[in-house]
Structure 1
């Protein structure tokens, strides 16, 4: 397999694992299942189940701070993508299109959307928690300005 397809498989696996902890997971899961089942005779429902199992592992690993398990899942899906591309090099165009959907290009370095995953732990939070792509002027309602 040439280096370009190997890199494409790695990028696909990375994007897939990143999507597993986002709100857009269901859409990504369905697109990836279609990608694997199309022209390969795979059962899409079985693939959805396998993707959900992988997601459960990644979410649990994320919550536990276990980067090794996340890397293992990424490696597994990279291998599966490599095998799919080796069996059908024409699938590379479809995988590129899928990657464009999962991680759209940015305009001037500002992401145009995407999923968010929040996890706050370590006790009770007594202050304001804010997550945003960018924050201009912020007023928390307590009369102070940041």
Structure 2
């Protein structure tokens, strides 16, 4: 059950961060605040979500991928704790995420940016989504004219 809740928390955090940069964020934020507050102080959670959105937008504007990832990780942890404390909330979260996705037009709400760095890549590099049946044959050894990428 713990793995299922962790997967739901990860999915929820990804959706939450994706919604932060969507046109439906304001409405989603209020609904997510109600979920997180569990009947207590909706306004405080709403403010946390608002501030997270500001931080995320600033991180993306400055291309600070680490800061953006930290924001998502923080909400993933918070969701895991909320679900661990109240496992019955899992179904409520699933329904909320499904509703928010429909309201967002059923379109993906996450922007993925892939970067390759750290030297010479001596094999295939794929960037995208849903790769099936790929086979690559490689010795793994660098090509003589490329070297190892070290200085």
Taking the aligned partners of 2:95 and 2:47, their CA distance within structure 1 comes to: 23
**Unaligned stretches of 5+ residues in structure 1:** 105-110, 118-146
Query: What's the CA shift for 1:103?
Result: 2.1
SS in 1 for 2:23: coil
- CA 1:93–1:49: 2 relative to 1, 3 Å: same
Taking the aligned partners of 1:5 and 1:87, their CA distance within structure 2 comes to: 11
Name the Cα RMSD after superposition: 2.1
Residue of structure 2 in register with 1:101 after alignment: 99
Residue of structure 2 in register with 1:122 after alignment: none
Structure with higher Rg: it is 2
Give the TM-score normalised by the residue count of structure 1: 0.68
Taking the aligned partners of 1:32 and 1:112, their CA distance within structure 2 comes to: 18
Give deviations 1:83-123, integer Å, cap 9, x for gaps: 1001100000010011102223xxxxxx64577x9xxxxxx
Give the TM-score normalised by the residue count of structure 2: 0.66
Taking the aligned partners of 2:77 and 2:44, their CA distance within structure 1 comes to: 18
Residue of structure 2 in register with 1:36 after alignment: 36
Taking the aligned partners of 1:3 and 1:112, their CA distance within structure 2 comes to: 26
Residue of structure 2 in register with 1:4 after alignment: 4
Residue of structure 1 in register with 2:23 after alignment: 23
Q: How many residues align?
A: 109
Residue of structure 2 in register with 1:45 after alignment: 43
Taking the aligned partners of 2:22 and 2:79, their CA distance within structure 1 comes to: 21
Moved over 6 A (4+): none
